[in-house]
Amino acid sequence: MSGTWVPGADGSGFGLENLPYGVVAGADGRPRIAVRVGDHALDLAALVDAGLLNDPTGALRAPTLNPFLALGRPSWAAVRARLRALLAAGNPDAARVGEALRPLDAVAPALPVAVGDFVDFYASLEHATNLGRLFRPGVEPLLPNWRHLPVGYHGRAGTVVVSGTPVRRPLGQRGPTRPGSPPVFGPERRLDIEVELAFVTGAGPPLGRSISVHAAAEHIFGFVLLNDWSAREIQRWEYQPLGPFLGKSFATSIAPWIVPLEALEPLRVPGPPQVPPPLPYLRTDDPWALDVELEAALTPAGSSVDTTLTRTNARGLYWNAAQQLAHATVGGATVAAGDLFASGTISGSEPGTFGSLIELTQGGRTPLRLADGVERTFLEDGDTVVIRGRGGAVSFGEVRGRISHASHRTESA
């Protein structure tokens, strides 16, 4: 196919090569499954109503992508092939298809999936090494298990929000100011970002059966940009011995558009060497690293000028998505349609490629000077962060969030 008849879509990152899925709401507030084409959302239910797209199960009329994801890869491939044909240049039904196009500025993005389970990994060697040095200075930065398995934790699915949702500064405990004194309670002072990619799954096998690295592609629907906002003071005080809890539970933002795995085939490349070789259940020679350029920018409160904080690439992740899924299920854990598995912070080896402020500022010791002259070590109220991603002709769009002030209000019985 040479291109699409949709004006402006070719070369935009949202042409026929991509066609990412999301959910949008129009003036009636009703959420509808859509595919992004250029600066338009293509309403799939409207295509079904027009007789242009088959939907025998009714999955494409649902308010989330979950029922569609549950259908599995053959259905995903069939719908994608049909959409590419409908949107291809020269399609005689272009005028009828055009009636289902909605300008992006006329719709509001909604959370594309109802997230049942959320897992966040720690898959970047560089990030894990940097944080190990900051949190445990003077000792080996990587714990003994790190090179043998994809370290991860189960996060809060209920606080996964779509791009544009305000992020309230969390309250919590931070460590004592001096030995023997009690911990301190209050608003988090070291609020941070984490530049990540996440994958979304279809249905998995029954309880007790795992997914092998070689079957991962049958269960991974696609990838989405993710920012796992982090409260570093809370995290540092609480994380031993059981890992993150309140420091990560207050908000996780994802982009509105999930890029199908099929669209990412040209971007799949070999990952970095793994030394020592992983155990057999984690070994794969398939190219699962993704050559996706990522960047994060910050617009400080009261300003309209943004500053690029970091540029990095997802291809450097030590543990890939197939290994993450195989490890998460090797003990028999279930996977459901719409589950979310995040990479953890993606950092490169150079200072300008780190995926979090705690790394970029060396633990807050070296402030960043922004384009309008102000400085930041961590986020302040009113700051806006946007993460963008693109690989070749495929754009992931952006995930955006603005920090609002902490609230002391609580619900009483």
- Any domain includes 14: no
Examine the domain organization and report whether 276 and 353 are in the same domain. Answer: yes
Q: Which residue has the tokens 């003994």?
A: 144
Its pTM stands at 0.96
CATH number, domain with residue 302: 3.90.850.10
User: Are 352 and 236 in contact, with CB atoms under 8 Å apart?
Assistant: no
Return phi, psi of residue 402, to 5°.
-115, 135
Examine the domain organization and report whether 279 and 158 are in the same domain. Answer: yes
The pLDDT value given to residue 45 = 98
Choose the catalytic residue: 127, 148, 405, 408.
127
Residue 370 CA to residue 306 CA, distance in Å, equals 8
Examine the domain organization and report whether 292 and 322 are in the same domain. Answer: yes
Which among 196, 223, 199 is positioned nearest to 295, based on CA atoms? 196
Examine the domain organization and report whether 310 and 211 are in the same domain. Answer: yes
Spell out where 62-203 has E strands. Answer: 101-103, 108-110, 118-121, 152-154, 160-162, 167-168, 171-174, 184-187, 191-192, 195-201
Examine the domain organization and report whether 100 and 144 are in the same domain. Answer: no
Domain end point (choices 63, 79, 110): 110
| Confidence band, pLDDT 50/70/90 cuts, at residue 327 | very high
- Any domain includes 393: yes
- For 101-121, what is the mean pLDDT? 98
- For 388-401, what is the mean pLDDT? 98
- 202-246, pLDDT tens digit by residue? 999 999 999 999 999 999 999 999 999 999 999 999 998 999 999
Range(s) of the domain holding residue 305: 118-404
- Any domain includes 11: no
Return phi, psi of residue 398, to 5°.
-150, 160
The pLDDT value given to residue 411 = 54
- For 175-186, what is the mean pLDDT? 94
- For 22-42, what is the mean pLDDT? 96
Which among 82, 114, 396, 358 is positioned nearest to 257, based on CA atoms? 396
| pLDDT of 412 over the 90 cut | no
Examine the domain organization and report whether 169 and 316 are in the same domain. Answer: yes
Examine the domain organization and report whether 90 and 219 are in the same domain. Answer: no
H helix or E strand, kind and range, residue 33: strand 31-37
| pLDDT of 408 over the 90 cut | no
Beta bridge partners of 182: none
Beta bridge partners of 24: 32, 109
Residue 348 CA to residue 131 CA, distance in Å, equals 13
| Confidence band, pLDDT 50/70/90 cuts, at residue 409 | low
CATH number, domain with residue 98: 2.30.30.230
264-293 b/e with 16+ CB inside 10 Å = b?
A: beebbeebeebeeebeeebebeeebbbbbe
Active-site residue, 148 included:
no
- Any domain includes 395: yes
- 8-20, pLDDT tens digit by residue? 999 999 999 999 9
- Any domain includes 10: no
Examine the domain organization and report whether 40 and 138 are in the same domain. Answer: no
Examine the domain organization and report whether 234 and 370 are in the same domain. Answer: yes
Examine the domain organization and report whether 94 and 133 are in the same domain. Answer: no
Domain end point (choices 110, 135, 169): 110
- Any domain includes 6: no
Examine the domain organization and report whether 131 and 269 are in the same domain. Answer: yes
- 83-99, pLDDT tens digit by residue? 999 999 999 999 999 99
Q: How many CB atoms lie within 10 A of CB 394?
A: 23
Mean pLDDT over the full length of the chain: 96
| Confidence band, pLDDT 50/70/90 cuts, at residue 1 | low
Count: domains in the chain: 2
The pLDDT value given to residue 184 = 96
User: Are 23 and 102 in contact, with CB atoms under 8 Å apart?
Assistant: no
The pLDDT value given to residue 410 = 59
Residue 134's contacts (CB-CB under 8 Å, 6 or more residues apart) are 358, 359, 362, 363
Which among 20, 24, 76, 14 is positioned nearest to 46, based on CA atoms? 24
- For 109-138, what is the mean pLDDT? 96
- 336-369, pLDDT tens digit by residue? 999 999 999 999 999 899 999 999 999 999 999 9
**Coil/strand/helix, residue 411:** coil
- Any domain includes 343: yes
Domain end point (choices 53, 84, 110): 110
**Residue of higher predicted confidence among 413 and 295:** 295
The pLDDT value given to residue 99 = 98
Examine the domain organization and report whether 189 and 292 are in the same domain. Answer: yes
Cβ-based burial of 347 (10 A; exposed 0-12, middle 13-18, buried ≥19)? buried
Return phi, psi of residue 320, to 5°.
-95, 175
Beta bridge partners of 196: 226
- Any domain includes 288: yes
| pLDDT of 117 over the 80 cut | yes
The pLDDT value given to residue 2 = 78
| Confidence band, pLDDT 50/70/90 cuts, at residue 71 | very high
